[in-house]
Structure 1
Amino acid sequence: MAAVSVSESLVILVTVLLLSQGANSEPTQDKQALQSFISQVPHANRLKWNASTSACDWIGVTCDTERSHVYTLRLPGSGLVGQIPPNTIGRLSQLRVLSLRSNVLSGQIPADFSNLTMLRGLYLQNNEFSGEFPPSVTQLSRLIRIDLSGNKFSGAIPFSLSNLTYLTGLFLENNNFSGNIPSIRANLDAFNVSNNHLNGSIPTSLSKFPESSFAGNLQLCGNPLPPCNASSPSLAPSPTPIVPSSPAERKHKKLSTAAIVGISFGAAAILLILLFCLILCLPMWRQRKESKSPQPVAAARSVAADAGTSSSKDDLASAAAEGERSKLVFVEGGGYSYDLEDLLRASAEVLGKGSVGTSYKAVLEEGTTVVVKRLKDVVTAKREFEMQADVLGRCKHENVVPLRAYYYSKDEKLLVYDYFPSGSLSALLHGSRGSGRTPLDWGNRMRVALGAATGLAYLHVSGKVVHGNIKSSNILLRQDNAAGVSDFGLNPLFGTSTPPNRIAGYRAPEVVETRKVTFKSDVYSFGVLLLELLTGKAPNQASLGDEGIDLPRWVQSVVREEWTAEVFDIELSRYDHVEEEMVQLLQIAMTCVSTVPDQRPSMPEVLRMIEDVRVSDGIRPSSDDPSKGSDGQTPPSSFTP
C-alpha cells in the first residue's frame, strides 16, 4: 500500500508540475526577438523589460491566452531612437498589432516585416522613417489599418496596395510621396494623403473622401478638389524635345520681331506663375514646419463624418489639437498602450455633461475603451495641476475608478479614466420606469452602498483626498453592480471660485457659505446618496413637495409624521423581510446629513455601520460576485479605518 501511495503521489506531483509549466508558459522565441530589438535600439528609461519575468508581462507587450506568442506590441512615445534592426520584430510571426508611433525611429522598414503575415494594424506615424513605400508592407494581406503619416517617405504610392483586400484605413499624410495616386480598390473608410507632392487627377474610387484628405498637394485636381482642365500643370502636355541645329542652320534662322515679343511675354507669364505659386506655398511650408501633425484636426473631423461617427469626436479632436506641444502624461501604473494621438483619432460619444466638464466615451482604433473628461473653468497653473493629478493617480482601490492619464495645455485640460460599461448609479436608479425596466433590487442597492462607502473611506484614510462632488452620477457600476467612486479630488483644480452648484442637491449647508469642501461635507453628500438609494428620488426632484425643499428635509418631514413606510422607493415594496434593514440604513443616512458637521460620523465609521447592517441581517452577496470572498463576506480593505 505504501508503494502504491508513493506512486500515486509521484503521479500527482508530475501532473502538478506539468500544469504549472503550462500555466507559466513563455513565448521563448518571441522574447528573444524582443530582447534583441530593445538591446539594439536606445529607448526611454521607463521601458524596463526584466529578462527574469515573462515577456507577456512587459510594458507594451500582450500575448495570446495561452501565453505562447506575442500578439500585440505597443510602444508609442517610448523614446525609441534609430533604425529597426532586421531579424528582431520581423520574427514575431503571430503579431496582430504593431504600434511604434511618436518615437524617433529612422531609416527604412526592414524587409523581414513581410514575415508578419498575421498583422492587422501597423502604426508607425510620427517618426523619421525614409525611403520608398516599404514593399514588405504591401505583402501583408491581412492588414486592416496602415498609418505611416508624419515621416519622410518618398517615391510613388504603390498600386499593389489594392492587394490588401481587408484594408479600411490608409494614412500617408505629411510625407514626401510624389507621382499619381493609384486607384486603390480596397474598401477604405478612412484615407489621407495630404501634405505630400502628389499630382494628377484623383481616382474616382477615392473621390468620396473630403478635401482635407488631399490638401497640401498643389498639383492634384478632380473631385473633391477643383476640376482638372487643360491649363492644369499636372495635365500639360510633355514638351517636344529640342534637337540642336547645326551652325549653318542657325546662321539662316533668325528670329522675327513677333517671335521675340512672344518669348518676352511668355517669360513674363512664367515668372508671374512662379511668383504666385511661391506665395501660395510659403504658408503651407511654414505651417508644416511648425506643426507636423499625424492628422490635422480638420481631417480627423472629416473622416469622422465620412465614417458616420459621432460629432463628439470633433470636440475631442479639438481638445487634443495642441498635442505636439503638450503630451498625454500617464500616472504611475497607467500603462503606455495609447497616446494623445489615439484620443484625437478616437470614435467618441458624449456620456454626460457635468458641473466640472464633459465626459466622452472614446473607443481607440486599437480596441481600448476609455473615458476622457474635458474639464472646464480650471484656474490652477500647470505645476499645481500635475501635482494634484499625481496625487489622484496614486489612489488605487477596487472601489475607486482609477485615473490613468492627464493632459494639460493652455486651452485644454483632459483626464483619462477606465471605462465602466454598466454606467452610473443615477442612470440605473432614475432611468425609465416603464414596462421592461429591470428595477434595482435591495441586495444590489446594499452592494452599491457598501462599495461606495468603501471607496470613499479609502480616499479619506489612505489617499487623504476629499472627494468634493459625491453624487449618483459619479458612482459607476461594473457588470456585477460593484460600485466605483469617480471624479474625486477635482475641487483644488478650480480654486476658491468653485460655484456651489457644482454639487447642487448634495452639498452640505456649510459648503453653501464657505464654498470649501471637507471630509465632513463628503459624509453629508454620501448621506444624501443613501437617501437617494432608499427613496428612489433624485435630490432635486420636483415631486419632493414644497419648492426649494431638499431630500434630507423631505425625509425628515415624512418620518416626523410617522409615515416612515412612505419614504421608501415603491420598487422595494416587492421584497419581503427587508424592512428592518431599510430602516437601519435610513438611520445611518440621517446621521450623515446632520446640519452640524461635528455630529456627523467619519466615513470609516459609516462603512462599519453599513457592514454591521449587512452581517447582522443576513444579507450576503450573490455567489457570482468576484469582488467578495468565497464565504460571502467582504474581504478586508487595503486600509484600516
Structure 2
Amino acid sequence: MEKAYSFFLSLLLLHLYLLETCISKNIVINTDQSVLLALKASFTLSSSHPLTQNWSSQASVCDWIGVTCGSRHHRVIALNISNMNIFGNNIPPHLGNLSFLVSLDLSKNYLHGDIPQDLSRLNRLKVMDLGYNNFSGEIPMWFGFNSGFISKLETLSVRNNLLQGGIPKEIGNLENLKDLILFENQLTGSIPLSIFNISSLELLGLSGNQLTGSLPVDICRRLGRIKRISLVSNHLSGYIPSGLSNCTELSELSLAYNNFSGNIPPEIINLERLELLSLGGNNLQGIY
C-alpha cells in the first residue's frame, strides 16, 4: 500500500512538472508574440501590407513573415523585415524582450527616432542591421558599455541614416565585432583609438561622414584580421601611416577625399592581398 502511494505521488509530481513546463513554455512564446505585435502597432502600414494580416495572434509567431524560431525552444531567434516599405517612429522598448534573438534586420525601411537603449538587453545578438533608414540622434554609448550587453555582436550596421555626434569609445569593447558599418551619416569628431584594438575586426566602414583627426601610427598593431578600411569623404588629416603594411589581410584601402598629406608610404606595396587602393582627393605626393 505504501509503495503504491509513493508511486502515485511520483506520477502526480511528474504530471505537475510537465504541466508547469508546458505553461512556462507557452508564456515565453506568447511574450515573443506580444513583443512583435507591439512592434507592428508602432508601424504605419497599409491594409494591403504583408504584415497587416500575417502578423496575427491567430497564427503561431513562428509562422509569421520575417520571423525565424529556434528548433529547440521555439523562441524567436531572427527577425528580418528589411526592405518592406515600413514607416514608423521610435522602435518600442519591448523589442529588448526578445531574449533569444540572434539576428535583427530592420534595414531599408522608413524608420525614424533614436536607437532605443532597450536593445542593449539582447545579449545573444550577433547581427544588428538598421541601415538605410532615418534614425537620428547619436550612436548610443551603451554599445559595449558592459560586457553583458550585446557582447556577442559581430555585425553592427547603421549605414545611411541621420546619426550625429561622435563615435562612442565604448564600441571598442565589442570584442567579437567583425563589421562596423557606419557609412553615410553625419558623424563628427575623431575615430576612437579603442576601435583599432578590436582584434576581430574585418571591416571598418566610416565613409561619408565628417570625421576629423588622424590615423594612429600603429593602426594595424591589433587589427590582424582587417580586410577592408573605408574612410572616404571625411575630414581626416595627417600622414598615411606606414604601419598599414602590417594589415596583411587587407584587400581594400579607401582613404580618398580627405585631407591627408605627405608621401604615400612605399610599404603599401607589400600588401599582397590588396585589390582596391583609393587615395585620390588628398594632398599626397607619390604615384597612385
Mark yes or no: TM-score above 0.5: yes
Distance 1:117 1:173 in 2: 25
Distance 1:211 1:123 in 2: 18
- Which of these residues, 186, 189, 202, is aligned with residue 176 of structure 1? 186
Query: Aligned residue for 2:233?
Result: 216
Secondary structure of the residue aligned to 2:92 is coil
Query: Aligned residue for 2:50?
Result: 46
- What pairs with 1:68-467 in structure 2 (closer than 5 Å)? 68-139=74-145, 140-183=150-193, 184=195, 185-186=197-198, 187-203=200-216, 204-205=218-219, 213-221=230-238, 222-223=240-241, 225=255
Q: Tell me the TM-score normalized by structure 1.
A: 0.31
Q: Is the 8 A contact 1:56 1:67 kept in 2?
A: no
Secondary structure of the residue aligned to 1:132 is coil
Q: State the aligned residue count.
A: 219
Shift of 1:205: 2.8
Distance 2:261 2:203 in 1: 28
Amino acid at match of 2:214: S
Ranked by relative contact order (alpha carbons within 8 Å, sequence separation 6 or more), the top structure is 2
Q: Structure 1 residues 86 and 46 mapped into 2: Cα distance closer, same or farther (>3 Å)?
A: closer
Deviation readout 1:531-551 (Å, 9 max, x if unpaired): xxxxxxxxxxxxxxxxxxxxx
In terms of Rg, which structure is larger? Answer: 1
Distance 1:87 1:214 in 2: 33
Distance 1:67 1:78 in 2: 28
Distance 1:117 1:34 in 2: 18
Amino acid at match of 2:191: I
Secondary structure of the residue aligned to 1:28 is helix
Query: Aligned residue for 2:249?
Result: none
Amino acid at match of 2:207: S
Shift of 1:62: 1.0
Amino acid at match of 2:126: R
Amino acid at match of 1:134: P
Distance 1:217 1:85 in 2: 30
Deviation readout 1:335-368 (Å, 9 max, x if unpaired): xxxxxxxxxxxxxxxxxxxxxxxxxxxxxxxxxx
* Pairwise CA RMSD: 3.2
Shift of 1:228: 5.1
Q: Is the 8 A contact 2:202 2:227 kept in 1?
A: no
Q: Structure 1 residues 122 and 206 mapped into 2: Cα distance closer, same or farther (>3 Å)?
A: farther
Amino acid at match of 1:172: L
Secondary structure of the residue aligned to 1:112 is helix
Q: Tell me the TM-score normalized by structure 2.
A: 0.67
Distance 1:195 1:136 in 2: 24
Shift of 1:210: 7.9
Bigger share in strand? 2
Deviation readout 1:422-477 (Å, 9 max, x if unpaired): xxxxxxxxxxxxxxxxxxxxxxxxxxxxxxxxxxxxxxxxxxxxxxxxxxxxxxxx
Deviation readout 1:46-85 (Å, 9 max, x if unpaired): 2221211110111111111134421111110122212234
Amino acid at match of 2:233: G
Distance 1:151 1:220 in 2: 25
Q: Which runs of 5+ in 1 are unaligned?
A: 1-10, 231-304, 315-641
Amino acid at match of 1:71: I
Q: Structure 1 residues 60 and 153 mapped into 2: Cα distance closer, same or farther (>3 Å)?
A: same
Q: Which runs of 5+ in 2 are unaligned?
A: 1-11, 242-252, 263-272, 277-288
Shift of 1:182: 1.1
